[in-house]
């Protein structure tokens, strides 16, 4: 039932806890994680309920989600369903001083106010061959293959990721996207694939804020290429046509508009917002994807994940980390051991988590690369995306979800600590990528996953464990193989990067 409220901001909002006057992101996150952990009888449920320092200790509970997820092939789907169901029931959707649950609003609001704005690119109709811009070079052919080999040897990317990139090099015909209709939530995203899709004849359905600067960027990008842009357009009170739609405030209407398309849709959730808005925009994208997928069962979904999270990893990676620990130079061993002791184990904590045996008979490890500075809202937003991907594949939907490398986007480098840490990451054999390099790799990887029937994306391909969907094709920049818990080495990477930038 809707209830009358006073002056609540419109759109998707965190709930207000009982007895409180304002929404609480911490209370909501703990409820969602508690529900997810209860679904697999985790002993951490009671500890989570009484957790007093959520801002510092949240990684403990995200790690428990991964650990219990590994233990049984049935657990990831159970965790994902319970966590998502709780999130959808908790978030509110406000409009005109009335509030409803988001789930009810998605069903009850039937409006569809948008017209289709269509713009065709005026560039050459020829498909531009794929390349990777890297350190000022345009890597193609033998040079591209050589760099892929080097990244694999340096453990910057996983072998399956390298294999996918080589396959893309072998199949230039995959890059003709003229038969695909690709929906970009957050189309102007700095790390998104727009600039590449515009060269590959894609039909691009762009969803982004009704901001003239954003749409100038989007339309100029498409004009220069050979793609077709399709965008939501609405007539304003001044009888002017306005491009764009707001994922947070027009969530049901966007879903209704997408359901008017007759084409098969590839739905990409690439929108990013700072802080708690990232959680809200994630649940918005998921809600739209879910509603569209219900009516258009042949649609696919896509998300890009961050390497600075907690993941299940293959046994081979754990063995590699253990080998890297043994092979450290003696000076590094002495220095890090001394600093580890002096800091009361706060710095250079060894990355030596034991293998976990799953009920499928195989063993997996855990890579904990969460960076505390990114905060629990960021972790929750990305976890919701993972859960939706696992659920979508389990019900037979083609699901692309790949780990993208650490990238020097504006949203990252505006944090001075992260900027310095990225600059000094190579101290620990971790590579960070420029946005143009990440864009080229991740856009192509989406093309690979949509075309290669052997990809984990394909729900007909049997996986030994559901979490292998996320393990496959990882480009973590080397973070998975670092001998130390990433956040305990971060201050030294930041210090090294700061000195390098200054001197």
* pLDDT tens-digit series, residues 433-443: 888 999 999 99
Residue 298: Cβ-neighbour burial (10 angstroms; 0-12, 13-18, 19+):
exposed
What b/e sequence results for 375-401 when a residue is b if at least 16 CB atoms lie within 10 Å of its CB, and e otherwise?
Answer: bbbbbbbbbbbbbbbbbbbbeebbbbb
Q: How much of the chain exceeds pLDDT 90, in percent?
A: 72
**Dist. CA 29–CA 380, nearest whole Å:** 7
Q: Looking at 90-99, 150-159, 418-427, which range is the least confident one?
A: 418-427
The residue length of the chain stands at 503
Between the ranges 363-372, 407-416, 450-459, where is the mean pLDDT highest?
450-459
What b/e sequence results for 463-476 when a residue is b if at least 16 CB atoms lie within 10 Å of its CB, and e otherwise?
Answer: bebbbbbbbbbbbb
Mean pLDDT of 208-218: 97
pLDDT band at 155 (very low <50, low <70, confident <90, very high): very high
Determine the distance from the C-alpha atom of residue 66 to the mean position of all C-alpha atoms in its chain, rounded to a whole number. Answer: 16
**Dist. CA 421–CA 244, nearest whole Å:** 36
Cβ of 362: how many Cβ atoms within 10 Å? 16
Mean pLDDT of 75-102: 95
pLDDT in tens, 364-382: 999 888 888 889 999 999 9
pLDDT in tens, 468-490: 999 999 999 888 887 766 665 66
DSSP 8-state code for residue 411: H
What tokens does 419 get? 């900027």
Half-sphere CA count of 440, side-chain side, radius 13 A: 18
* pLDDT at 129 > cutoff 50: yes
What tokens does 129 get? 């061959």
**Dist. CA 82–CA 14, nearest whole Å:** 18
399 vs 325: which has the higher pLDDT: 399
Q: Looking at 5-19, 257-271, 353-367, which range is the least confident one?
A: 5-19
> What does the pLDDT read at residue 345?
44
* pLDDT at 299 > cutoff 60: yes
DSSP 8-state code for residue 210: S
* C-alpha angle 282-464-81 in degrees, rounded to nearest 5: 35
Whole-angstrom distance between the N-terminal and C-terminal Cα of the chain? 62
Q: Which residues on adjacent β-strands are paired with residue 234? A: 242
**Dist. CA 171–CA 227, nearest whole Å:** 20
> What does the pLDDT read at residue 354?
77
pLDDT band at 335 (very low <50, low <70, confident <90, very high): very low
Residue 10: closest CA among 85, 102, 86 = 102
**Dist. CA 99–CA 11, nearest whole Å:** 9
> What does the pLDDT read at residue 488?
59
Q: Looking at 59-73, 82-96, 205-219, 470-484, which range is the least confident one?
A: 470-484
Mean pLDDT of 293-299: 95
> What does the pLDDT read at residue 237?
76
Cβ of 278: how many Cβ atoms within 10 Å? 22
* pLDDT at 413 > cutoff 80: no
CB 176 within 8 A of CB 197: no
Q: What is the mean pLDDT of the chain?
A: 88
Q: Which residues on adjacent β-strands are paired with residue 305? A: 403
* C-alpha angle 92-61-90 in degrees, rounded to nearest 5: 10
What tokens does 141 get? 């052919």
Give the pairing of strands 300-305 and 265-269: parallel
Q: How much of the chain exceeds pLDDT 70, in percent?
A: 84
**Dist. CA 159–CA 266, nearest whole Å:** 26
| Residues contacting residue 136 through CB under 8 Å, at least 6 positions apart | none
> What does the pLDDT read at residue 318?
84
**Dist. CA 96–CA 7, nearest whole Å:** 8
> What does the pLDDT read at residue 324?
58
3-class SS string, 329-391: CHHHHHHHHHHHHHCCCCCCCECCCCCEECCCCCEEEEEECCCHHHHHHHHHHHHHHHHHHHH
Residue 318: closest CA among 448, 482, 458 = 482
pLDDT band at 498 (very low <50, low <70, confident <90, very high): low
405 vs 339: which has the higher pLDDT: 405
- Please state the domain extents for the chain: 3-111
Residue 307, by phi and psi: left (phi above 0), alpha (psi -120 to 50) or beta?
alpha
* C-alpha angle 482-484-487 in degrees, rounded to nearest 5: 105
> What does the pLDDT read at residue 233?
97
């Amino acid at each position: 039932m809707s209830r009358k409220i006073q002056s609540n901001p419109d759109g998707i909002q965190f709930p207000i806890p009982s007895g409180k006057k304002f929404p609480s992101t911490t209370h909501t996150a703990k409820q969602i994680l508690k529900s997810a952990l209860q679904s697999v009888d985790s002993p951490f449920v009671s500890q989570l309920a009484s957790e007093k320092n959520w801002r510092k200790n949240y990684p403990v509970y995200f790690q428990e989600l991964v650990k219990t997820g590994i233990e049984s092939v049935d657990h990831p789907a159970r965790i994902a369903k319970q966590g998502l169901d709780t999130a959808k029931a908790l978030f509110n959707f406000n409009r005109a001083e009335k509030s409803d649950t988001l789930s009810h609003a998605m069903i009850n609001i039937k409006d569809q106010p948008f017209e289709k704005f269509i713009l065709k690119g005026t560039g050459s109709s020829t498909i531009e061959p794929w390349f990777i811009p890297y350190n000022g070079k345009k890597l193609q052919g033998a040079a591209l293959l050589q760099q892929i080999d080097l990244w694999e040897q340096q453990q910057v990317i996983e072998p399956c990721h390298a294999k996918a990139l080589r396959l893309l090099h072998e199949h230039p015909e995959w890059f003709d996207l003229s038969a695909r209709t690709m929906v970009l939530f957050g189309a102007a995203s700095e790390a998104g694939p727009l600039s590449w899709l515009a060269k590959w004849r894609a039909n691009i359905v762009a969803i982004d804020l009704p901001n003239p600067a954003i749409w100038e960027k989007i339309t100029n990008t498409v004009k220069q290429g050979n793609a077709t842009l399709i965008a939501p357009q609405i007539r304003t009170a001044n009888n002017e046509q306005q491009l764009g739609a707001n994922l947070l405030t027009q969530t049901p209407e966007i879903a209704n508009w997408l359901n008017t398309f007759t084409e098969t849709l590839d739905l990409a959730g690439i929108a990013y917002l700072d802080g708690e808005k990232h959680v809200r925009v994630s649940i918005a994208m998921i809600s739209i994807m879910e509603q569209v997928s219900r009516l258009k069962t042949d649609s696919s979904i896509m998300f890009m994940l961050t390497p600075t999270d907690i993941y299940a990893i293959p046994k081979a990676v754990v063995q590699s980390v253990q080998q890297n620990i043994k092979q450290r130079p003696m000076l590094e061993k002495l220095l890090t051991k001394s600093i580890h002791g002096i800091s009361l184990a706060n710095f250079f904590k060894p990355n030596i988590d034991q293998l976990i045996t799953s009920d499928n008979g195989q063993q997996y490890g855990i890579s904990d690369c969460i960076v505390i500075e990114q905060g629990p809202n960021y972790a929750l937003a990305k976890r919701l995306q993972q859960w939706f991907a696992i659920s979508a594949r389990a019900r037979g939907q083609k699901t692309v979800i790949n780990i993208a490398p650490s990238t020097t986007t504006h949203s990252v480098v505006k944090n001075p600590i992260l900027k310095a840490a990225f600059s000094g990451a190579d101290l620990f054999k971790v590579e960070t990528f420029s946005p143009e390099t990440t864009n080229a790799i991740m856009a192509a990887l989406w093309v690979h996953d949509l075309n290669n029937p052997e990809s984990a994306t394909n729900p007909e391909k049997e996986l030994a464990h559901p979490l292998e969907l996320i393990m496959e094709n990882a480009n973590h920049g080397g973070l998975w193989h670092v001998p130390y818990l990433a956040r305990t080495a971060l201050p030294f990477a930041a210090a090294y990067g700061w000195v390098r930038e200054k001197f």
